[in-house]
Structure 1
Amino acid sequence: MSPHTPPGPPPVTPAPFPGGEQGAGTHILADLVGASRLDDPAHAETVLRDCAQAAGALLLYVHVHHFGRGGGVSGVAVLAESHISVHSWPEYQFAAVDLFMCGAAEPNKAIPVLQAGFQPERIIAQELVRGRGALIPTPGDYGPELPAGWPLDPADPLSLQAADLTER
Protein backbone atom coordinates (compact mmCIF):
# COMPACT_ATOMS: atom_id res chain seq x y z
CA MET A 1 0.00 0.00 0.00
CA SER A 2 1.42 3.39 -0.99
CA PRO A 3 1.45 6.29 1.46
CA HIS A 4 -1.29 7.91 -0.65
CA THR A 5 -3.66 4.95 -0.46
CA PRO A 6 -6.34 5.52 2.16
CA PRO A 7 -6.67 2.74 4.71
CA GLY A 8 -9.53 0.43 4.00
CA PRO A 9 -11.04 -2.78 5.21
CA PRO A 10 -8.98 -5.94 5.07
CA PRO A 11 -9.38 -8.05 1.92
CA VAL A 12 -12.62 -9.98 1.76
CA THR A 13 -12.27 -13.47 3.14
CA PRO A 14 -15.07 -15.95 2.71
CA ALA A 15 -17.49 -15.83 5.59
CA PRO A 16 -19.16 -18.99 6.87
CA PHE A 17 -22.94 -19.01 6.75
CA PRO A 18 -25.51 -21.40 8.16
CA GLY A 19 -25.35 -24.80 6.53
CA GLY A 20 -21.62 -24.48 5.88
CA GLU A 21 -22.00 -22.14 2.91
CA GLN A 22 -19.28 -19.60 2.20
CA GLY A 23 -19.74 -16.27 0.48
CA ALA A 24 -18.65 -12.69 0.16
CA GLY A 25 -21.39 -11.25 2.34
CA THR A 26 -24.98 -11.11 3.48
CA HIS A 27 -27.63 -9.15 1.59
CA ILE A 28 -30.91 -8.43 3.35
CA LEU A 29 -33.80 -7.10 1.27
CA ALA A 30 -36.34 -5.50 3.59
CA ASP A 31 -39.76 -4.18 2.60
CA LEU A 32 -41.19 -1.75 5.15
CA VAL A 33 -45.00 -1.82 4.92
CA GLY A 34 -47.18 0.78 6.64
CA ALA A 35 -44.13 2.90 7.43
CA SER A 36 -43.91 6.57 8.40
CA ARG A 37 -41.49 9.53 8.04
CA LEU A 38 -40.63 8.38 4.54
CA ASP A 39 -40.61 11.92 3.09
CA ASP A 40 -38.01 13.38 5.47
CA PRO A 41 -34.48 13.29 3.99
CA ALA A 42 -32.75 14.34 7.22
CA HIS A 43 -34.53 11.58 9.11
CA ALA A 44 -33.65 9.02 6.41
CA GLU A 45 -29.98 10.03 6.68
CA THR A 46 -30.06 9.60 10.45
CA VAL A 47 -31.61 6.14 10.09
CA LEU A 48 -28.97 5.11 7.51
CA ARG A 49 -26.17 6.28 9.82
CA ASP A 50 -27.72 4.50 12.81
CA CYS A 51 -28.12 1.29 10.77
CA ALA A 52 -24.43 1.32 9.84
CA GLN A 53 -23.42 1.83 13.47
CA ALA A 54 -25.76 -0.91 14.75
CA ALA A 55 -24.38 -3.36 12.17
CA GLY A 56 -20.79 -2.62 13.13
CA ALA A 57 -19.97 -1.27 9.68
CA LEU A 58 -17.54 1.51 8.74
CA LEU A 59 -19.52 4.38 7.21
CA LEU A 60 -17.72 6.11 4.35
CA TYR A 61 -20.39 8.37 2.85
CA VAL A 62 -24.14 9.09 2.98
CA HIS A 63 -26.25 10.76 0.31
CA VAL A 64 -30.02 11.19 0.40
CA HIS A 65 -32.08 12.70 -2.41
CA HIS A 66 -35.56 14.08 -1.70
CA PHE A 67 -38.08 14.02 -4.54
CA GLY A 68 -39.80 17.22 -3.41
CA ARG A 69 -42.83 18.08 -1.35
CA GLY A 70 -44.85 14.96 -0.67
CA GLY A 71 -42.29 12.83 -2.49
CA GLY A 72 -40.11 10.11 -1.14
CA VAL A 73 -36.37 9.73 -0.74
CA SER A 74 -33.64 7.63 -2.23
CA GLY A 75 -30.58 7.31 -0.07
CA VAL A 76 -27.42 5.31 0.17
CA ALA A 77 -24.85 4.80 2.89
CA VAL A 78 -21.60 3.65 1.30
CA LEU A 79 -19.78 1.36 3.70
CA ALA A 80 -16.31 -0.14 3.69
CA GLU A 81 -18.25 -3.43 3.85
CA SER A 82 -20.64 -2.47 0.96
CA HIS A 83 -23.86 -0.42 1.31
CA ILE A 84 -27.25 0.30 2.81
CA SER A 85 -29.90 1.88 0.58
CA VAL A 86 -33.45 3.10 1.05
CA HIS A 87 -36.07 4.03 -1.54
CA SER A 88 -39.39 5.30 -0.22
CA TRP A 89 -42.92 5.88 -1.48
CA PRO A 90 -44.71 7.86 1.26
CA GLU A 91 -47.94 7.86 -0.74
CA TYR A 92 -47.99 4.07 -0.25
CA GLN A 93 -46.36 4.08 3.21
CA PHE A 94 -43.73 1.76 1.71
CA ALA A 95 -39.93 1.67 1.64
CA ALA A 96 -37.52 -0.81 0.07
CA VAL A 97 -34.24 -1.19 1.98
CA ASP A 98 -31.09 -3.08 0.98
CA LEU A 99 -28.51 -4.01 3.59
CA PHE A 100 -25.47 -5.64 1.99
CA MET A 101 -22.36 -6.23 4.08
CA CYS A 102 -19.28 -8.41 4.11
CA GLY A 103 -16.66 -9.12 6.73
CA ALA A 104 -17.60 -8.93 10.41
CA ALA A 105 -20.50 -6.50 9.87
CA GLU A 106 -23.92 -7.88 10.85
CA PRO A 107 -26.69 -6.37 8.68
CA ASN A 108 -29.42 -8.15 10.67
CA LYS A 109 -28.60 -5.86 13.62
CA ALA A 110 -29.87 -2.90 11.55
CA ILE A 111 -33.43 -4.29 11.36
CA PRO A 112 -34.43 -2.97 14.83
CA VAL A 113 -33.08 0.45 13.79
CA LEU A 114 -35.35 0.41 10.72
CA GLN A 115 -38.26 -0.61 12.94
CA ALA A 116 -37.64 2.23 15.39
CA GLY A 117 -36.89 4.81 12.71
CA PHE A 118 -39.74 4.23 10.26
CA GLN A 119 -42.22 2.42 12.53
CA PRO A 120 -43.61 0.08 9.86
CA GLU A 121 -46.61 -2.09 10.60
CA ARG A 122 -44.53 -4.98 9.31
CA ILE A 123 -41.17 -5.77 7.76
CA ILE A 124 -40.91 -8.44 5.10
CA ALA A 125 -37.26 -9.49 4.77
CA GLN A 126 -35.24 -11.91 2.66
CA GLU A 127 -31.63 -12.82 3.44
CA LEU A 128 -29.26 -13.87 0.66
CA VAL A 129 -25.68 -15.13 0.67
CA ARG A 130 -23.84 -13.11 -2.00
CA GLY A 131 -20.77 -14.42 -3.78
CA ARG A 132 -21.64 -18.01 -2.98
CA GLY A 133 -18.91 -20.07 -4.57
CA ALA A 134 -17.18 -17.04 -6.06
CA LEU A 135 -14.42 -16.92 -3.49
CA ILE A 136 -14.24 -20.65 -2.83
CA PRO A 137 -15.68 -22.80 -5.62
CA THR A 138 -18.10 -25.41 -4.42
CA PRO A 139 -18.94 -28.73 -6.09
CA GLY A 140 -21.59 -28.33 -8.76
CA ASP A 141 -20.73 -24.72 -9.63
CA TYR A 142 -20.43 -24.01 -13.33
CA GLY A 143 -16.99 -22.85 -14.36
CA PRO A 144 -16.01 -21.84 -17.87
CA GLU A 145 -17.63 -25.02 -19.18
CA LEU A 146 -21.40 -25.15 -19.24
CA PRO A 147 -23.25 -28.42 -18.68
CA ALA A 148 -24.25 -30.40 -21.73
CA GLY A 149 -27.60 -29.34 -23.12
CA TRP A 150 -27.42 -25.82 -21.73
CA PRO A 151 -30.20 -23.94 -23.54
CA LEU A 152 -28.09 -20.94 -24.59
CA ASP A 153 -26.51 -20.62 -28.03
CA PRO A 154 -22.70 -20.23 -27.80
CA ALA A 155 -22.65 -18.61 -31.27
CA ASP A 156 -25.04 -15.85 -30.15
CA PRO A 157 -23.01 -12.93 -28.70
CA LEU A 158 -26.04 -11.85 -26.65
CA SER A 159 -26.35 -15.20 -24.87
CA LEU A 160 -25.44 -14.90 -21.23
CA GLN A 161 -22.98 -17.68 -20.64
CA ALA A 162 -20.81 -18.13 -17.60
CA ALA A 163 -17.76 -18.52 -19.84
CA ASP A 164 -18.05 -15.11 -21.47
CA LEU A 165 -19.47 -12.84 -18.77
CA THR A 166 -16.02 -11.57 -17.82
CA GLU A 167 -15.15 -10.81 -21.46
CA ARG A 168 -17.93 -8.24 -21.94
Structure 2
Amino acid sequence: MQGLHLTADLYQCHCEAAWLTDASRLGEWCVKAVEASGLQAVNQLFHTFPATPRGPGGVTATVLLAESHVCLHTWPEQRAVTVDVYVCNFGGDHSLKARTLMATMIERFQPEWTEQRSLDRGDGQA
Protein backbone atom coordinates (compact mmCIF):
# COMPACT_ATOMS: atom_id res chain seq x y z
CA MET A 1 0.00 0.00 0.00
CA GLN A 2 2.92 2.31 -0.58
CA GLY A 3 1.94 5.72 -1.94
CA LEU A 4 2.16 9.50 -1.84
CA HIS A 5 -0.53 11.76 -0.38
CA LEU A 6 -0.32 15.47 -1.22
CA THR A 7 -2.55 18.18 0.22
CA ALA A 8 -2.75 21.90 -0.42
CA ASP A 9 -4.85 24.63 1.15
CA LEU A 10 -5.15 27.56 -1.26
CA TYR A 11 -5.97 31.03 0.04
CA GLN A 12 -7.19 34.23 -1.66
CA CYS A 13 -7.46 32.62 -5.09
CA HIS A 14 -7.39 35.09 -7.98
CA CYS A 15 -8.97 32.78 -10.57
CA GLU A 16 -12.29 33.51 -12.28
CA ALA A 17 -15.14 33.03 -9.79
CA ALA A 18 -16.66 30.30 -11.99
CA TRP A 19 -13.74 27.97 -11.13
CA LEU A 20 -15.01 28.07 -7.53
CA THR A 21 -18.73 27.65 -8.27
CA ASP A 22 -19.29 25.73 -11.52
CA ALA A 23 -19.02 21.99 -10.86
CA SER A 24 -19.29 21.00 -14.54
CA ARG A 25 -16.57 23.38 -15.67
CA LEU A 26 -14.26 22.49 -12.81
CA GLY A 27 -14.92 18.77 -13.19
CA GLU A 28 -14.23 18.67 -16.91
CA TRP A 29 -10.99 20.55 -16.37
CA CYS A 30 -9.97 18.20 -13.52
CA VAL A 31 -10.35 15.13 -15.76
CA LYS A 32 -8.23 16.80 -18.46
CA ALA A 33 -5.58 17.77 -15.88
CA VAL A 34 -5.47 14.19 -14.57
CA GLU A 35 -4.97 12.82 -18.08
CA ALA A 36 -2.34 15.46 -18.92
CA SER A 37 -0.35 14.43 -15.83
CA GLY A 38 -0.24 10.84 -17.03
CA LEU A 39 -2.68 9.44 -14.49
CA GLN A 40 -5.83 7.49 -15.42
CA ALA A 41 -9.33 8.70 -14.49
CA VAL A 42 -11.77 5.82 -13.95
CA ASN A 43 -14.80 7.69 -12.56
CA GLN A 44 -15.81 11.13 -11.28
CA LEU A 45 -18.38 13.01 -9.24
CA PHE A 46 -18.88 16.78 -9.26
CA HIS A 47 -21.33 18.59 -6.99
CA THR A 48 -22.25 22.24 -6.48
CA PHE A 49 -23.64 23.12 -3.07
CA PRO A 50 -26.56 25.55 -2.76
CA ALA A 51 -25.95 29.21 -2.08
CA THR A 52 -26.04 30.46 1.51
CA PRO A 53 -26.50 33.94 2.97
CA ARG A 54 -22.68 34.17 2.82
CA GLY A 55 -22.60 33.73 -0.96
CA PRO A 56 -22.67 31.17 -3.76
CA GLY A 57 -22.26 27.50 -2.98
CA GLY A 58 -18.92 25.81 -3.37
CA VAL A 59 -18.01 22.71 -5.30
CA THR A 60 -16.71 19.26 -4.45
CA ALA A 61 -14.95 17.63 -7.38
CA THR A 62 -13.68 14.08 -7.07
CA VAL A 63 -11.90 12.09 -9.73
CA LEU A 64 -11.24 8.45 -8.98
CA LEU A 65 -7.97 7.30 -10.46
CA ALA A 66 -6.69 3.87 -11.34
CA GLU A 67 -3.85 5.04 -9.06
CA SER A 68 -6.21 6.41 -6.30
CA HIS A 69 -7.91 9.87 -6.29
CA VAL A 70 -7.90 13.65 -6.58
CA CYS A 71 -10.45 15.71 -4.67
CA LEU A 72 -11.09 19.46 -4.52
CA HIS A 73 -13.39 21.49 -2.28
CA THR A 74 -14.03 25.16 -2.96
CA TRP A 75 -15.19 27.94 -0.67
CA PRO A 76 -16.12 30.83 -2.99
CA GLU A 77 -17.05 33.15 -0.13
CA GLN A 78 -13.47 32.84 1.14
CA ARG A 79 -11.86 32.43 -2.31
CA ALA A 80 -10.29 29.26 -0.92
CA VAL A 81 -9.75 25.72 -2.18
CA THR A 82 -8.46 22.50 -0.65
CA VAL A 83 -6.80 19.95 -2.92
CA ASP A 84 -6.03 16.33 -2.12
CA VAL A 85 -4.00 14.14 -4.50
CA TYR A 86 -3.27 10.56 -3.50
CA VAL A 87 -1.53 7.94 -5.60
CA CYS A 88 -0.59 4.45 -4.63
CA ASN A 89 2.70 3.28 -6.05
CA PHE A 90 1.78 -0.35 -6.54
CA GLY A 91 3.19 -1.50 -9.84
CA GLY A 92 5.15 1.73 -10.38
CA ASP A 93 6.11 5.03 -8.82
CA HIS A 94 3.47 7.66 -9.67
CA SER A 95 4.93 10.32 -7.36
CA LEU A 96 6.14 12.65 -10.12
CA LYS A 97 2.73 12.46 -11.82
CA ALA A 98 1.04 13.33 -8.52
CA ARG A 99 3.35 16.31 -7.97
CA THR A 100 2.75 17.48 -11.54
CA LEU A 101 -1.02 17.26 -11.04
CA MET A 102 -0.83 19.19 -7.76
CA ALA A 103 1.21 21.96 -9.40
CA THR A 104 -1.38 22.17 -12.19
CA MET A 105 -4.20 22.43 -9.63
CA ILE A 106 -2.47 25.22 -7.73
CA GLU A 107 -1.72 27.12 -10.93
CA ARG A 108 -5.41 26.99 -11.99
CA PHE A 109 -6.60 28.80 -8.84
CA GLN A 110 -3.82 31.42 -8.59
CA PRO A 111 -3.71 31.61 -4.78
CA GLU A 112 -1.91 34.38 -2.94
CA TRP A 113 -0.47 31.71 -0.66
CA THR A 114 -0.68 27.99 -0.02
CA GLU A 115 -0.07 25.52 2.76
CA GLN A 116 1.17 22.25 1.30
CA ARG A 117 1.91 18.89 2.87
CA SER A 118 3.33 15.63 1.61
CA LEU A 119 2.93 12.26 3.29
CA ASP A 120 4.55 9.00 2.25
CA ARG A 121 1.95 6.30 2.86
CA GLY A 122 2.65 2.69 3.80
CA ASP A 123 5.86 1.09 4.91
CA GLY A 124 6.79 -0.60 1.66
CA GLN A 125 6.18 -4.07 3.08
CA ALA A 126 4.10 -6.47 1.02
The CA distance in 2 between the partners of 1:47 and 1:98, in whole Å, is 16
Say which one has the larger Rg.
1
Q: What's the C-alpha RMSD, in Å, of the aligned pairs?
A: 1.8
Q: Structure 1 residues 112 and 50 mapped into 2: Cα distance closer, same or farther (>3 Å)?
A: farther
Q: Which has the higher strand share?
A: 2
Partner of 1:93: 79
Indicate yes or no: 2:64 matched with 1:75.
no
2:107 aligned partner, one-letter code: A
Partner of 2:32: 50
Partner of 1:111: 102
- Mark the runs of 5 or more structure 2 residues left unpaired by the alignment: none
Please give the secondary structure, in 1, of the residue aligned with 2:77. helix
Partner of 1:33: 11
TM-score normalised by length of structure 1:
0.61
- Mark the runs of 5 or more structure 1 residues left unpaired by the alignment: 1-22, 138-168
> Displacement of 1:25 after TM fit?
0.6
Q: Which has the higher helix share?
A: 2
The CA distance in 1 between the partners of 2:71 and 2:7, in whole Å, is 10
Aligned residues: 113
The CA distance in 1 between the partners of 2:111 and 2:29, in whole Å, is 13
TM-score normalised by length of structure 2:
0.79
Q: Structure 1 residues 88 and 127 mapped into 2: Cα distance closer, same or farther (>3 Å)?
A: same
Partner of 1:60: 42
